[in-house]
Amino acid sequence: MATTDAPKDPADKGKLKLIIQVVVALLLAIGLSVGATWFFMSGEKSAAPPVVDANIKRPAIYEPLPPAFVVNLNDNGRQRYLQVSITLQARDQNDLNALKVHMPVIRNNLVMLFSGQTFDSLATSVGQEMLRQKATASVQEVAQKELGKVVIDQALFTNFVLQ
């Protein structure tokens, strides 16, 4: 078996050269496209409208619920009283304004919640915190039902008197 070194076909050289030219042209076009995109995107940032990040927490808004809630508590046949002043914490004034329409329902639910407590359970800070969390959940439940969203972050007790 003899090997012969036959000269390569000139047509094959022309095809290879054409393929290389097409690849180089494609790489150049991609490079220009990326460069132009980068130039225009990083260029005039001051002219672009500001982007609001939805993950940024808005400042808190506080809405007091006057007058204070006053309910009777039964303590082994003895009459006791609970007075609670509440302030709602929210993040959107428009949502808070929409919730104000439903204040009669919110106040009713809170009065029922407070009057169902026992004096002994409210005499501890743990009991008071649990009641605050229940009050928050009660207001959020009304907001969810009526407005389709929770609206408030928490209900805060700004005054709490047991007598």
pLDDT tens digits, one per residue of 51-96: 556 668 889 999 999 999 999 998 888 899 999 999 999 999 999 9
Q: What pLDDT, on a 0 to 100 scale, did the predictor assign at position 158?
A: 97
Q: Inter-axis angle of helices 125-147 and 93-100, to 10 degrees?
A: 90
Q: Examine the domain organization and report whether 74 and 117 are in the same domain.
A: yes
Name the residue range of residue 81's domain: 61-162
What integer is the mean pLDDT of 152-158? 96
CA distance 30 to 34: 6
Same structural domain, 22 and 84: no
| 53 is a domain residue | no
**pLDDT class of 16 with cuts at 50, 70, 90:** confident
Q: Do 34 and 68 share a structural domain?
A: no
* pLDDT on residue 37: 73
Residue 135 belongs to some domain of the structure: yes
Tell me if 56 is assigned to some domain.
no
Judge whether 4 lies within some domain. Answer: no
Same domain, 110 and 77: yes
pLDDT-derived band at 21 (thresholds 50, 70, 90) equals confident
pLDDT at 7: 57
Q: Are residues 25 and 85 in the same domain?
A: no
Are residues 33 and 84 both part of a single domain?
no
Using the predicted structure, report yes or no on whether residue 33 has a pLDDT greater than 80. no
The H or E element containing residue 129 is helix 125-147
